[in-house]
């Protein structure tokens, strides 16, 4: 698996997939830059009048619920449906699902209308999406949900089976399952939690890898999680002591310079 995942780095860089994002305005610049850093091309277009047109020319669609509004929700539904028609992957990042009725309702609307390829969230968000009990605090995973992280694999597998897609739960250890197979990625650094947008960027990386490998979403997710986690480790080694500003710059540097060898050499990847 690690060889296949690592090989996708080169595939992203040579195929340069166009990744359509309908995402939040907080971290959208980070998402665009990380998509470029890994070798894909970002396009952000959230008007209902063009969402389907843009999705139809892309190689993957990323829907991110970070700053929903009544204008972008129908655009997400239209882009997701267009992606389904075109047969390209759809990644959903249900930011803060459970934090408000609007987010819960929107998440359910998307699940009803769009066949997802990958669902990525923290443990609170994925529990909510799968109908399991959770206590969301804002957009970060709640402590009680993190405390129960030991059963993250059971949650991921159950959610994957229920929702019919690959499910990623990010946290101190990342978990991914397609309902049959499950993997854990233990790379990363706690300092990633001190930056905004690391979850959103992870979803953009998943979209980028899925765009290059539309038939292998599990492998694409593993490649993305390894890239993010290992880039976090490298960034901490190079700049962590300086503070969050330098760490952020070094994180982008590390993603832009990531190689298959680095992924293979540093991967902490375990089959569950």
Which residues are near a second copy by CB under 8 A? 18, 24-30, 32-33, 36-37, 41-47, 49-50, 53-54, 57-58, 66-71, 96, 99-103, 137-140, 194-197, 242-246, 248-257
- Closest to a second copy by CB, 50 vs 151, is 50
- Separation in Å, CA 54 to CA 14, 27, 239, 248: 21, 20, 38, 30
CA dihedral (36, 224, 255, 18) in degrees, to 10, reads -10
Q: Measured between alpha carbons, how far is 203 from 6 in angstroms, rounded to an integer?
A: 18
Instruction: Say which residue the tokens 């929107």 belong to.
Output: 106
- Closest to a second copy by CB, 113 vs 244, is 244
Q: What is the DSSP letter of 202?
A: H
166, β-bridge pairs: 118
Q: Measured between alpha carbons, how far is 169 from 121 in angstroms, rounded to an integer?
A: 5
Q: Measured between alpha carbons, how far is 29 from 207 in angstroms, rounded to an integer?
A: 16
- Closest to a second copy by CB, 19 vs 90, is 19
We find the least distance from the C-beta atom of residue 131 to a second copy, in angstroms, to be 20
- Closest to a second copy by CB, 1 vs 26, is 26
- Closest to a second copy by CB, 177 vs 204, is 204
We find the least distance from the C-beta atom of residue 265 to a second copy, in angstroms, to be 18
We find the least distance from the C-beta atom of residue 5 to a second copy, in angstroms, to be 21
Contacts of 267 by beta carbon, 8 Å cutoff, 6+ apart: 2, 5, 6, 185, 187, 226, 230
Contacts of 88 by beta carbon, 8 Å cutoff, 6+ apart: 55, 58, 59, 60, 61, 211, 214
We find the least distance from the C-beta atom of residue 259 to a second copy, in angstroms, to be 12
We find the least distance from the C-beta atom of residue 197 to a second copy, in angstroms, to be 7
- Closest to a second copy by CB, 148 vs 196, is 196
Q: Measured between alpha carbons, how far is 118 from 115 in angstroms, rounded to an integer?
A: 9
- Closest to a second copy by CB, 18 vs 158, is 18
We find the least distance from the C-beta atom of residue 264 to a second copy, in angstroms, to be 20
- Upper half-sphere CA count for residue 17 (Cβ side, 13 Å): 30
We find the least distance from the C-beta atom of residue 127 to a second copy, in angstroms, to be 17
């Amino acid at each position: 698996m690690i060889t296949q995942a690592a090989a996708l780095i080169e595939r992203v860089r040579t195929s340069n997939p166009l990744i359509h994002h309908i995402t939040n305005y907080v971290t959208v610049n980070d998402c665009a830059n990380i998509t470029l850093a890994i070798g894909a091309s970002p396009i952000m277009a959230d008007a209902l009048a063009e969402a389907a047109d843009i999705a139809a020319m892309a190689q993957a669609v990323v829907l991110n619920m970070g700053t929903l509004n009544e204008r972008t929700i129908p655009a997400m539904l239209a882009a997701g449906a267009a992606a389904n028609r075109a047969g390209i992957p759809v990644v959903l990042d249900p930011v803060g699902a459970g934090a408000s009725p609007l987010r819960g309702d929107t998440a359910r609307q998307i699940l009803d209308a769009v066949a997802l390829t990958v669902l990525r969230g923290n443990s609170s968000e994925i529990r909510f999406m799968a109908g399991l009990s959770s206590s969301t605090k804002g957009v970060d995973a709640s402590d009680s949900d993190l405390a129960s992280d030991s059963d993250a694999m059971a949650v991921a597998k159950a959610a994957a089976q229920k929702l019919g897609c690959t499910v990623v739960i990010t946290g101190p250890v990342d978990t991914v399952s397609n309902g049959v197979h499950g993997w854990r990625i233990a790379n990363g650094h706690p300092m990633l939690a001190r930056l905004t947008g690391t979850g959103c960027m992870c979803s953009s990386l998943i979209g980028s890898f899925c765009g290059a490998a539309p038939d292998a979403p599990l492998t694409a997710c593993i490649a993305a999680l390894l890239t993010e986690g290992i880039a976090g480790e490298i960034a901490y080694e190079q700049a962590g002591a300086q503070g969050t500003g330098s760490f952020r710059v070094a994180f982008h540097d590390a993603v832009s310079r990531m190689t298959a060898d680095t992924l293979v050499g540093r991967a902490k990847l375990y089959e569950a």
